[in-house]
Structure 1
């Protein structure tokens, strides 16, 4: 008589395997979402269009440039088609016209061997210099900071990309967390995988999606700059852009843990607004700081070492050549250490509140008590 063969009970997946399964689920649900695909496509097209338009604008044929010319050197601008010439008596009159804004530049007698000099207010007048038969010295009466417009655009872009990507993906993590809790699906999920694996999978999956989106933005920006011939800008932002991707990857993990832990404190989607406010403000602060203080070296230096602002502050400082070679390495170590500590704290809050239904759970209470059976 044969005895029935016993079948071993199925074993739960290891922590690492469970994390990867949850991450795969998060990635799949994100990339299949029409809203995510459409918003990403619109963002990429907008970035490419902006780069192409700026390139076309820079290549556009300029109109006539108003220029004052001292009568004694008027022959050097004879026949210049792109200059609207106004003759003045001497250098003082020419300088007065430039300062008053009546003309963009002035051509005045200068030192030998050329014998002419160009006066301008705050930047070199390329149209005037190129129209002359000689290449004279340019004297700026009120020099402006170098590349001020490009400085603002690049710092603005770093802050905006970080803020929009983190808030978008972080809000998705929060919404999924609360939805699973409200529908009780989380109880089924936790019967198969540990809470830490569920949280780690959410962070890992959404981090991969956000990093992929950021890498796509960087690739489109590089492609647009190459196609439009703006290689000089590409040279300036190449290394800062690479560091931005590295800092973004780690900084997103830090903030994603805060978004997930914050969402686990409530049981209804309607209540997420209040608990997510601190995380949203932490994400928005770097953007506002670089927009309003992009010319303040002290603020940028502090930003580059504060974990929540380092993903924007350090790449901006690298772009502005205000950071030594070792500073991004030190800032990265600080960011990694802070991310490890804050993520561990977020995991503790998540574990102790994700199964608690009803009213909002206080952070102090979640840290002080274990999950009810």
Structure 2
């Protein structure tokens, strides 16, 4: 069977090649790629080029504390700068020669800063002072530091542990929902605009004479789905580079198993929405009409997105089973919670059923409205045409 026997393949290839020759589409993809790489790699590069922070000290005990603090500075360490006295330390801090100075105080030490003290430096110095002071006091009492700390350890036991730390899990959850939202919205508008352009230029009449209208619809949906998946792969590749460059490869061990689920939810949700976006384009006769005809599609995307990001745990659980919303909610839940495997399977079954219904309804509306020119049609009118 050749491509002529499958006209939707020709339409899909036409969609892909047209978009790949579109400088705006290629440029936006490149910009997105650069943003993702910069957001993940640039902070690590800047941190790596800055070198260890310099801490001024005026005696040997202060130097010992700073050296101890270096072990808690995330591997970056601190550089000890020997200064003659407090006046020299004050001048070094004021001139910016050192980030801070550690000086003897009435009951321990004083951290001297210019207009503020970096929270990381302050935290590391506090921990180091406590460690060094405890060791000295233990020695005076004839005890080892381990003996002095017997019975003082606190262990955290989580009843419902998530696979990722809270901050990381929330970031990834929002990120997955945002990727689906932005991709579906961006490509959806391109589908609608493409349909209107073909109607305005009368190209659609030529295509409809040579190819079944449903093949036109399937070609657009499948072609843009392939492009959207390609863009997702690019984003994933850029994120992978960023994670490896910033030494966060451990996150991949958690994200990788969910990636396959995300692709399934993405494809089904995108296909359903792509059919609706094509209908939105077929209802319009000019580009100016898209503001009203695409509004339902925008709301179908926007409401579940904000719901999946800002709703409570119970509400997110419910949303993860609602078609379209599940494409944004369920993958995030699988990263942040211990979700039984039956739940994503049920959500996929519901989404698949909804996708089939939406696409079938969209195909019928598309057939009835694509060749309607002269004025914008409403959804109620289009449904009436279908019944007629």
TM-score (norm: length of structure 2): 0.72
| Alpha carbons of structure 1 residues 288 and 268: separation in structure 2 relative to 1, 3 Å | same
Residues 280-338 of structure 1: per-residue CA shift (max 9 Å, x gap): 12222343234323xx3212212211111111211101111331122212211111111
Aligned partners of 1:137 and 1:62: how far apart in 2? 31
Aligned pairs, how many? 319
Match of 1:29 among 9, 14, 18: 18
> Aligned in 2, Cα 1:323/1:64: closer, same or farther, shift over 3 Å?
farther
CA distance in 2, matches of 1:317, 1:205: 29
Q: Which residue of 2 aligns with 1:334?
A: 350
Residue 313 (structure 1) aligns with: 329
1:80 to 68, 71, 74: 68
Partner of 1:368: 384
Are 2:192 and 1:203 aligned? no
1:178 corresponds to 2:183:
no
| 1:322 and 2:338 aligned | yes
Matched, 1:158 2:176: yes
Is 2:264 the partner of 1:246?
yes
Residues 170 and 336 of structure 2 are in contact (CA less than 8 Å); yes or no, is this contact kept in structure 1?
Answer: no
Matches within 5 A, 1:102-181: 104=123, 107=130, 114-115=146-147, 137=153, 147-181=165-199
Secondary structure of the structure 1 residue equivalent to 2:68: coil
Distance 1:193 1:78, change over 3 A: closer
Structure 1 gaps of 5+ residues are: 1-11, 66-73, 91-102, 119-135
Q: 2:250 aligns with which of 232, 253, 256?
A: 232
Superposed CA offset, 1:325-368 (max 9, x none): 22212211111111011010011111111111222223233223
In structure 2, C-alpha distance between the alignment counterparts of 1:287 and 1:63, rounded to whole Å? 42
In 2, are the aligned partners of 1:257 and 1:343 still within 8 Å (CA)? yes
CA contact (8 A) 1:352 1:369 kept: yes
Q: Deviations over 1:155-201 (max 9, x none)?
A: 22112211111111111110011111122221111100111111111
Residue 267 (str. 1) matches residue 275 (str. 2): no
- How far residue 148 of structure 1 moved from its aligned partner, in angstroms, is 3.0
**Alpha-carbon distance in 2 for matches of 1:188, 1:79:** 77
- Which position in structure 2 is the counterpart of 1:291? 309
Q: Does 1:44 align with 2:33?
A: yes
Secondary structure at the counterpart of residue 114 of structure 1: helix
Contact map agreement 2:308 2:316 (CA 8 A) in 1? yes
- Specify which of 267, 274, 281 is matched with residue 256 of structure 1: 274
Pair 1:38–1:21, CA change in 2 (3 A): same
The alpha-carbon distance between structure 1 residues 370 and 250, as it changes in their structure 2 partners (threshold 3 A), is closer
Give 5+ residue unaligned stretches, structure 2.
56-61, 71-77, 79-101, 109-121, 157-161
When the two structures are superposed, what TM-score results if normalisation uses the length of structure 1? 0.75
Match of 1:19, SS? helix
Distance apart, 1:54 and its partner CA: 4.4
Secondary structure, counterpart of 2:368 in structure 1: helix
Which consecutive segments of 4 or more residues in structure 1 shift more than 6 A?
57-62, 85-90, 108-113
Query: Counterparts of 1:78 and 1:197 in 2: how far apart (Å)?
Result: 71
